[in-house]
Each structure stands twice: as C-alpha cells, then as structure tokens.
Amino acid sequence: MRIRTLIVDDEPLARDRVKRFLRDENDIQVIGECGNGKEAVAAIRERHPDLVFLDIQMPEKNGFEVVRSLDEGRMPAVIFVTAYDQYALQAFDVHALDYLLKPFNRDRLHRAVSHAREQIESRRIGQLDERLASLIKDLKAEKKYLERLVVKSVGRVFFLKTDEIDWIEAAGNYVKLHSGREAHMIRETMNGIEAKLNPEKFLRIHRSTVVNIDRIKELHPMFSGDYSVILRNGTELALSRNYRERLLELFENQA
C-alpha cells in the first residue's frame, strides 16, 4: 500500500529535510508540499493524503488551526513538526500523537512514520480524530502565555511586561524587543518568542517581525499589493505577503 503524504512547513529547508529522510521509506509517496496553513487546508481537502507532516508555527494558519479547519471523518494521520514548548510535547504524549521536535534525525522520523503506518493500516483514523480534538481542547484551555520577560541590560536585570512591547524584530540568534524609546535584546528565536506570546495580542507580519496588535494605527497600501504597517509611535514596518491575510482579516473584523 502506498501512503500518500503531504509535507507542510513554511521553511523550504525543513520540507527538504523531511523529503530526504522519507526516501528510505519505500511505501511513502510524497504528493505535495505546502508553505502555509491556508495552502495546507486546501491541499488536504483536494488531495486526501493518508499522512501529513504538519508544522505548528506557520503563517496564514498554524498547525492546530489547520486541524480545526478539516472536516470530521476525513482526517489524515498527522505527524506534528514543532519547536513548541514542553507543555505541548507532554500533551502530544498524553494523547498518543506523534511529533518531531526540531531538529530531528532520520531515526526519529522513521519511528514516527512506523507508528503512523500502523494507524493507517489498522484504519484507526477515527480514534485519531478524537485524540486530535482532545489535544486541541487541552492546549486551548491550558496554554499559558508570557506576561513578562526577564531582560538583562547594562549590568541590570529587570522584568518587561509583554503589554509594554510595541514590536519585536529578529537579530541573529537574538530578538530585539522595542518598547517606547528603548530596545532590549534577549536570546530567543522568532518562532520561539511567537509561540510564547498570546496570538490575540501579538501578530507575525513578516518573517523577522512580530507586532503588538494594540500598537497598530493603520495600514498603508504600497505598490503591487504590498502594505506597510504604521504603529501609533510612527514606526513603519513591512507587511510580508505571506502574513498579509491574517492582518487584513483582523482589520475587516474590527471595522
């Protein structure tokens, strides 16, 4: 039996890594790739894959939003690919769901595929639907988002409330937190800081930019359908096309 497989990740190198490791799995047939959650929902509905490698942190829709968007009874087997926090990893274990923690190796992927193969061959996908629904419910109920960050600056250590952050930008192995006229560096990745912040308050607008929604004043249309985001303090930020739809939906819903 050929296992029709879809790979979903917004990072091309991450998708290539999964494809490279899957070459050793003779019964896996990769039928497509998607770079964001919206594309993933459309591809799953159209192509009906047996198995999906699903990244959690993505533009348009995250991995959990993709699952929530799918029709009941048509759920493929899912292997989550994640850099998520420890609570989420424990939740995956409790609900017997497979995940690959970045960076993963060939052996770890092979074990996840073996488990998924058993799920598919024994046609226990209905049970998988229930576990996915329970996982999402638990994560939604229990997820605790950061309310303050510990910042070290010029020989002092202090707390910075997340509500005081205007926007965040990537800076190599660090992120820069912009708060009023000050900027503070902490060692963290953009995916890491985004996962810890309340998505109802902070929104990714670019691969290297997260913005406090309450600080947004207006959007300015640019050439070729691009936009710039103007904050209340006058800061102008670029809005990437990959993240445009979520921000536009937010403005439309509040209009």
pLDDT digits (tens, 9 = 90+) for 26-39: 899 999 999 988 89
Same domain, 116 and 167: no
Domain boundary among 86, 115, 142: 142
Whether 182 and 245 map to the same domain: the answer is: yes
Cα-based distances in Å from 74 to 39, 41, 198: 17, 12, 30
Element (H, E) at 121: helix 106-121
The verdict on 160 and 68 lying in the same domain is: no
The pairing of strands 3-8 and 51-55 is parallel
Q: Are 54 and 102 spatial neighbours (Cβ–Cβ below 8 Å)?
A: no
Is 70 found in the same domain as 128? yes
Domain of 118, CATH number, reads: 3.40.50.2300
Residues 210 and 125 reside in one and the same domain:
no
The pTM of this model reads 0.57
What tokens were used for 91?
A: 């939740």
220 Cβ neighbours under 8 A, 6+ residues apart = 227, 228, 229, 230, 236
Q: What is the pLDDT of residues 94-135, one digit of tens each?
A: 555 778 888 889 999 999 999 888 878 765 555 555 666 666
- Residue 214 sits in a domain whose CATH number is 2.40.50.1020
CA distance 33 to 12: 9
Cα–Cα dist 78/60, whole Å: 19
User: Do 50 and 124 share a domain, yes or no?
Assistant: yes
Which one of 113, 142, 171 terminates a domain? 142
Domain count, the chain: 2
- Kindly give the confidence (pLDDT) of every residue in the chain, 255 residues in length, as a single tens digit, with 9 standing for 90 and above: 789 999 999 889 999 999 999 998 989 999 999 998 889 999 999 999 989 999 888 876 788 888 878 766 667 888 988 876 554 566 566 555 778 888 889 999 999 999 888 878 765 555 555 666 666 666 555 557 888 888 887 778 889 999 999 999 999 889 999 999 999 999 888 888 887 888 888 999 998 999 999 999 988 887 766 788 999 999 999 988 778 777 777 766 555
Assess whether 72 and 167 both reside in one domain: no
**Domain range enclosing 186:** 148-254
154 and 78 within one domain: no
- Say if residue 170 is in the same domain as residue 102: no
Same-domain status, 110 and 171 = no
Last residue within a domain, chosen from 108, 142, 176: 142
State whether 135 and 238 are in the same domain: no
Same domain, 19 and 116: yes
CA distance 197 to 125: 32
